[in-house]
Amino acid sequence: MTRPPTRDQETRELIQRFRAKRDRRRKQRLVLGGTAAAIVLALVVAAVVLLVRGPADRAGAISTTVQTSLGSMASATSSTSVGSENGGGATTVSATLTTSTTMSESTATTVMATTTSRATTTSGATTSTSVLSTTSTSAPHAGGLVVVIDPGHQAKGDSTLEPIGPGSTEKKAKVSSGTSGVITGTPESELVLAVSLKLRDSLAAQGIEVLMTRTTQDVTLSNVQRAQMANEAGADLFVRIHADGSTDAGTRGIHVLYPASIAGWTDDIAASSKKAATLALQELIAATGAKDRGLDARSDMTGFNWSDVPVILPEIGFMTNPDEDRSLATAAYQDKIVKGLTRAILRFLGVG
């Protein structure tokens, strides 16, 4: 099987930072776990001592054990707070990914470049020997959650072929330029980029780590690469934003695509992806009042078949429908779409 093209240096550095940060979190959990075990052991020893000593000795043993336990907990908590602050303050990072598909995915793919907006901070972390707590000043319930947002398509397509799934002999074009507005003439790639940037900011405000696949039009990256980058980022959800097109100008509405279960490819993410897609459809229809076109399980989409993380593709409207094209071009309607997607994503991630 031919491997995808090499990513640029900036993207590799971003992925390394994600991995380093996750390693730090694992080490912090190990330190806290070890400290807790030591404290339990100390208390057990103290209990044994109390059974064999007199009243005066018991009081001294209790005092010594409590002080030792609090000292260990304070040390471990302080270490954890400093580690989180050094590696996880509010940061903005650049990277590169891609995006793809309209009218389905055969018309899709692409993108690169990006920014990661992180709103997880622990600058307010404090410790005390009485309560011993760690407090985050920003969205404490969303810490560590990662969403990759994929604005569909790019300025120019790439008809070069790539495997539809790992090891597959069936191939599809890497990138298409997408559809465009029948009234406004706006390219799909521009529309979905605008919506995706708003969604990024909305999620970041809730403390979610957001990785954009692209932030400009002048990029190129295949569906395989895009999915692999979401995998390497360890995304809790991979969201591919698209708009639809049809030869029938009367066709309108919103539908959400998700991967069908394919053994060895998507069988491990199909159920969770469907759950995310269901929530996305519910919230999008509630927010916009658009026609509900339902859910679509797809087995023919490269960006799904290469994904190892839950993934959905909301088609936010038909740009070939005059009324929807006009609506999609307005900031007010875009904000409704973002509101619906934000609610759905937070529900899926379990963030209140």
pLDDT at 187 over 60: yes
**Cα dihedral: 344, 349, 351, 352 (round 10):** 40
Which of 37-41, 118-122, 228-232 comes out lowest in average pLDDT?
A: 118-122
272, pLDDT greater than 70: yes
Query: 29 pLDDT band (50/70/90 cuts)?
Result: low
Confidence bin at 176 (pLDDT 50/70/90): confident
With cut-offs at 50, 70 and 90, classify the pLDDT of residue 242.
Answer: very high
DSSP code of 141?
Answer: G
pLDDT score, position 22:
62
Please give the average per-residue pLDDT across 157-167, as a whole number. Answer: 95
pLDDT at 124: 33
Which of these, 70, 12, 64, 62, lies nearest to 36 by C-alpha position? 70
Query: 11 φ, ψ to 5°?
Result: -65, -45
Query: Quick one: how far is CA 195 from the chain centroid?
Result: 16
Beta partners for 74? Answer: none
The stretch 142-162 carries a mean pLDDT of 92
Angle between helices 9-52 and 223-232 (to 10 degrees): 20
Q: What is the pLDDT of residue 301?
A: 97
The better pLDDT of the pair 8, 42 is held by 42
Q: Which two tokens stand for residue 178?
A: 């997408």
Residue 308 pLDDT > 90, yes or no? yes
Query: Is the CB of residue 168 less than 8 Å from the CB of residue 307?
Result: no
pLDDT in tens, 117-128: 333 333 333 322
Question: What was the pLDDT predicted at 35?
Answer: 65
Summarize the confidence of residues 84-111 as an average pLDDT.
Answer: 36
Contacting residues for 92 by C-beta, under 8 A, at least 6 apart: 115, 116, 117, 118
Residue with tokens 């605008």: 194
* pLDDT score recorded for residue 175: 80
Using DSSP's 3-state secondary structure scheme, residue 189 falls into helix
- The yes-or-no verdict on residue 66 having pLDDT over 60 is no
Q: Kindly give, in sequence order, each residue whose CB lies less than 8 Å from that of residue 203, ignoring residues fewer than 6 positions away.
A: 147, 149, 210, 342, 345, 346
Residue located via tokens 């100008």: 249
Q: Which amino acid is at 197?
A: L
Instruction: Look at 331 and 220; give whichever has higher pLDDT.
Output: 331
Query: Given this model, what pLDDT does residue 91 score?
Result: 33
Tokens of 326: 């006009």
The amino acid occupying position 301 is: M
Greater confidence, 238 or 101? Answer: 238
Look at the chain and count its residues.
352
- What does the alpha-carbon distance between residue 225 and residue 223 come to, in Å, rounded to a whole number? 5
User: Taking each helix axis from N to C terminus, what angle separates 9-52 and 55-88, rounded to the nearest 10 degrees?
Assistant: 180
| Mean pLDDT estimate for the chain | 76
| Residues 192/240, Cβ–Cβ less than 8 Å | no
> Would you state the pLDDT for residue 307?
98
Write the class of the CATH domain 91-347. alpha beta
Give the SS3 label for residue 186: coil
Phi and psi (nearest 5°) for 284?
-65, -45
State the pLDDT confidence band at 268, using cuts at 50, 70 and 90.
very high
- The pLDDT value given to residue 221: 87
Are 239 and 226 spatial neighbours (Cβ–Cβ below 8 Å)? no
The answer to whether 235 and 309 have CB atoms below 8 angstroms apart is yes
Of residues 136 and 328, more confidence is placed in 328
Q: What is the pLDDT of residues 284-296, one digit of tens each?
A: 999 999 999 999 9
